Structure 1
Amino acid sequence: MTWNIPLFKMYYDDDDIDSVSTALRSGMNWAVGPNVIDFEAGIADYIGSKYCLTFNSGTSALHTALIAHGIGTGDEVIVPSFTFIATANAPLFVGAKPVFADIEESTLGLSPNSVLEQITQKTKAIIPVHYGGCPCQIRELREIADDHNLVLIEDAAEAFGASINGTMVGTYGYSAMLSFCQNKVITTGEGGALVTDDRDLYEQAKLIRSHGRLETADYFSSYQSMDYVTLGYNFRLSNITAALGLAQLRKADAIISMRKAIAELYTTLLQKKVPEVSVMSPPDGYTHVHQLFSVRASDRDGLMKYLADQGIMSKIYFDPVHLTHHYRSMPGYEVSLPVTERVAGDILSLAIYPGMPEEEVMCVVDSIAEYYAVK
């Protein structure tokens, strides 16, 4: 379907095109190369972590993090159900069991109290999600992880550039996953990264990312033989893709500023015109980067259909993972998550993207107001 107002658009400029063109015209290093190294260094510097590794997706980065942290068969990993399904599936990739905890309503992230209730002797890790670009209660979750000797892996797929009192999301956990999929804050089309301050974890993740190969030089341009010291995967990000990532990173602050401005306009207009819709208000000190602009709406499904009829896209982020066919068909996943199910019942993500015209924002809000006026 062609939308009059799509849910998102990628933001790009001549710098993106020139960067990718330069990488292509080099005629070399299309798989691995200097752009990958520079992109990783740039991400680490931006986030404030010591190490960064890029991957072909955020899912691959999260999979690798679990292996590198030693999570495996018989272990339990506490995750939210209010997330993209990759967060919950990643423990299954390594033979562990995802255990669902409920969320809280101020940030729509994992509830520390619910997490405490799910900890058992088998629990080895917690994977909180920073929903839609808003930091979750990550400081409280880090304290729980430390108190119970658990690994804390941040799923920061949607929250590149988000922070709490100036400290970046991605630096609270022992490691963190970032995503650069097409609808994220900065994008490489597909792609992801793992950031950490742990040198040993970083070195282990490097092996896992590239077939377990102990790389003493650039594999594609060196005549040296290289040993394979563990089981690994082909999870690399290409040098061409990293060229796009570098260009995106150079304007990350500008992109985030545009997202914030659009979110502020939405908030002002919705609060003025549509009492049936409530807007998230992050806690003090929390910097929201608005990868999503999600609202809570009465008669959400009716509103979504009405907007679609006007050519305006909206989307439910997220339906609960524990209610998908995949998890309902597995024993042990008949769980009660009342806050997750309540939020998922009225959440709706509206169109937002850098450069979105003010007229489009007003059109979305006016259409929402019209729906409730005639309902």
Structure 2
Amino acid sequence: MSDEIPLFEIPWDESDIANATDSISRGAYWANGPYIDAFERGLEEYLGVEHAVTVNSGTTALVAALKAYGIGEGDEVIVPSFTFIATANAVRLVGATPVFADIDRRTYGLDPEHVETQVTDDTAALLPIHPFGAACDVDPLADIAAGLEVPLIEDAAEAFGGDYHGRTLGTIGDAGAFSFCQNKVLPTGEGGAVVTDDDAVARRLEQFRSHGRSSSDYFDSASSGEYTALGTNIRMSDLVASIGCSQLERVETHISNRRTVATQLSEQLRALEGVEPHTADGYGRHVYQLYTVTLDPEIDRKSVIDALDRRGIASKVYWDPGVHLTETYREEYGSEVGALPVTEEITSRVLSLPMHPNLKPQEIDRIVEGVTDGLE
């Protein structure tokens, strides 16, 4: 058995295999079967929302949410640059323009004060993320969106099960988008969902994910179907949803274990000079989809990465550069260094360490030893 410590491991068990086997061996309804309904109902119950509409990725969840609110050409959407590129790409994919705002030093989420400076007559939505599994400061952003009469769409890809002053992340704005990629808190391999309490938005989401079809019984009907809107095929398969159902049953245990691992890591890492673990800053429950530390500016991050690598321990930089300074965004929008000073500083200092629910105490000790070695 390898003694390497990967960045993440998927917490699977026999219930995942049993559900997947059941879905496959049914011999029908692989595309749209009973596990889809079960998973969506389970998400609605867990998150406390009226509607959960599953799709095939977190990225398409963002695209579908934007489309459901009619956002497109000529519109601007305020987004962070300190995020996975999909957040901004989704805006471009619907024909709108991403407008980058800087981040708050406390949360690493959108800074409401800077967001206000980025508002124009073309602002059509706010799209904040909840970084690493902890909340951004949502209420001021919701107030800005309400004042503009535009939707607040939460990118909660990393924050399934997290909360903000007791309110579940992804359910505070007008809609929330989740990812179930293999490294997420609730993994299905790939997959995503949009949640909302708005009946009309949910209906538009359902149509968009399935070619604009107005009925859901395509495979059970002799009819060719009624098509009443423009749509595409971004449906989640029954097989993927079957794994979602079994993972959802255990997600609270996985979150509890993640938080325990994070506590053990943080207790040791805080004792090291120049290493600051990311926290929820008192806003609510951090679910630690990623366990990230911020290094003091004088620390050579590459030395820490190399020291961990020598010990067979994975690490990863999320994210550097910020999206606004990636090649495609510099070419398309002319973004320049210095435009988002807090983002640009933080991107140069963050490092994510291994995190999954089953990290053992001895592995935690090895991670800390590797970081310590890299600081010397």
TM superposition score category, shorter chain reference: over 0.9
Show the 5 A alignment for 1:1-375: 4-215=4-215, 217-272=216-271, 274-297=272-295, 298-319=299-320, 320-334=322-336, 336-372=339-375, 375=376
The 3-state SS of whatever aligns with 1:364 is: helix
Distance in 2 between the 1:223 and 1:305 partners?
61
The 3-state SS of whatever aligns with 1:151 is: coil
C-alpha contact (below 8 Å) 2:180/2:191 kept by paired residues = yes
C-alpha contact (below 8 Å) 2:265/2:364 kept by paired residues = yes
State the Cα deviation string for residues 84-110 of structure 1 (Å, max 9, x = none): 001001111111100000001111100
Distance in 1 between the 2:340 and 2:302 partners?
21
Shift in Å, 1:150: 1.8
- Higher mean displacement: 277-286 or 360-369: 277-286
The 3-state SS of whatever aligns with 2:270 is: helix
TM-score scaled by length of structure 1? 0.96
C-alpha contact (below 8 Å) 2:305/2:374 kept by paired residues = no
State the Cα deviation string for residues 35-91 of structure 1 (Å, max 9, x = none): 001100111111111101000001111101111101111110000000000100111
Amino acid at match of 1:232: G
How many residue pairs get aligned? The number is 370
Distance in 2 between the 1:44 and 1:205 partners?
15
| CA-based RMSD | 1.2
Shift in Å, 1:332: 4.1
State the Cα deviation string for residues 154-192 of structure 1 (Å, max 9, x = none): 000000000022210011111110000000001110000
Shift in Å, 1:214: 1.1
Distance in 2 between the 1:41 and 1:218 partners?
18
The 3-state SS of whatever aligns with 2:352 is: strand
Shift in Å, 1:281: 2.8
C-alpha contact (below 8 Å) 1:263/1:293 kept by paired residues = yes
The 3-state SS of whatever aligns with 1:349 is: strand
Once the two structures are aligned, what percentage of the paired residues are identical? 44
Amino acid at match of 1:218: D
The 3-state SS of whatever aligns with 2:332 is: coil
C-alpha contact (below 8 Å) 1:78/1:127 kept by paired residues = yes
TM-score scaled by length of structure 2? 0.96
State the Cα deviation string for residues 229-267 of structure 1 (Å, max 9, x = none): 111111000011100000000001000001000000001
User: Structure 2: 5+ residue runs without aligned partners?
Assistant: none
Over 3 Å off, 4+ runs: none
| Structure 1 pair 3–308 and aligned structure 2 pair: CA distance change class (3 A) | farther
C-alpha contact (below 8 Å) 1:3/1:313 kept by paired residues = no
Amino acid at match of 2:226: D
The 3-state SS of whatever aligns with 2:139 is: helix
C-alpha contact (below 8 Å) 1:179/1:193 kept by paired residues = yes
Shift in Å, 1:300: 1.3
Distance in 2 between the 1:322 and 1:167 partners?
31
Amino acid at match of 1:214: S
The 3-state SS of whatever aligns with 1:286 is: coil
The 3-state SS of whatever aligns with 1:161 is: coil
Amino acid at match of 1:294: T
Amino acid at match of 1:289: V
Distance in 1 between the 2:3 and 2:328 partners?
31
Distance in 2 between the 1:3 and 1:121 partners?
56
C-alpha contact (below 8 Å) 1:279/1:295 kept by paired residues = yes
C-alpha contact (below 8 Å) 2:135/2:283 kept by paired residues = no
The 3-state SS of whatever aligns with 2:273 is: coil
C-alpha contact (below 8 Å) 1:3/1:311 kept by paired residues = yes
